[in-house]
Structure 1
Amino acid sequence: MMAPRSRWALAALLAVLALLFAAWFRDDPRYLQALAVFALPPLLLMAGVLLGSRVAAFWSGVFGLGWFCHGVMVGWERAAGRGYALAEVALALAIIVAASWPGLSARFGRRGQGGATD
């Protein structure tokens, strides 16, 4: 189970990413399709994380790798969307760290302070 702080941080990052996608594609003629493809997955993962699903937290980290790659590709290719793409890269990295933090702290945390024992 994720610690409440980690869960709230991950949920907030996923919400900000969904808002970023909503702003990024606001002028797209296929806005609803863009929202379904880009903004809906982080919102669904956010709901799962808030409900305490470890699977949702895991998939947030996995999807974070895809969002990172997407942001790098768009930032490299298009100057017009570079700001949004760099924001996506930063949020994706933060999501990966937030999703991985409980496991990392359990594995590498100091003994006697909630760290895992071998």
Structure 2
Amino acid sequence: MSNWSEQLQSVGFEKTKKADGSVSHCYEAANRRGSFWTQITVKQVGRPNPDSWQVTYARSEIQIGLWKIHNVVKSMEVIVHTNYSSMLDDIQAKIRRKPDFLDKISN
């Protein structure tokens, strides 16, 4: 396991291996109302040797319909990093981000 992978797991990311052999790290916010980004996914990309990381940030909300509950993605952002330390700094800053309404209440 590489250094960046260990650091992601220490922040709360879960390492998953898919059927095709690809590995990704996924973070889901425990408190959906208290964090802006509810899901963050990190995948290492590049061929033949992976040399960068694709980070996908998603904000999803639960909406209640007539027949079932829907998980709707309201906002999505994809960033590619070539340096793992800047990627980790960016991820930690995004995890700390709160929704605007809660920021107004807490100030």
TM over 0.5: no
Whichever structure has more strand as a proportion of its residues is: 2
Whichever structure has more helix as a proportion of its residues is: 1
* TM-score grouping bracket, smaller chain normalisation: 0.3 to 0.5
Output the TM-score relative to the length of structure 2: 0.33
Output the TM-score relative to the length of structure 1: 0.31
